[in-house]
Amino acid sequence: MGLLDKIFGKSEKSESPDLSDIMESEGDVVNPPADFYVKRVDLRNEGDGDLAVKELVEKNIIILNVLPLTKQPNRLKGIIAKLKNHATKTNGDIALLSQSMILLTPANVKIVKTKKKQSGTVIS
């Protein structure tokens, strides 16, 4: 923004970059093949939960989309409990990324988790 723009009140719009253009890829082809992958699984039923467990056994990291099951909270809680139990037994980890996304890691891969600071409370 130039000096004249400041004087005459012309302002720049602060736009966030379109990350989809930056992150654009050509598909799922990996050359050379990797030892482990990060995969997204959409959780629609118990079978998708079993698929996530299978991928964890193969040492892949899972980003689990739980949005399709949010209208069935009891079913969702049951599947998440099963996945959490698997992560605990295999020394993996599980963490909430957002209200609709969960991160699952295989054995011996841990997620660094930070606790939100409560207002007015000092955490030491």
Q: For a pLDDT cut of 70, what percent of the chain falls above it? A: 72
pLDDT reported for residue 26: 60
CATH superfamily for domain 32-108: SepF-like protein (3.30.110.150)
Three-point CA angle 100, 105, 108, nearest 5°:
155
For the chain, what are the domain ranges? 32-108
Confirm whether pTM is higher than 0.75: no
pLDDT at 124 over 60: no
Q: Is 69 exposed, middle or buried, given 0-12, 13-18 or 19+ CB atoms closer than 10 A?
A: buried
pLDDT per residue as tens digits for the range 14-60: 566 777 766 666 656 667 888 899 999 999 999 999 999 999 999 99
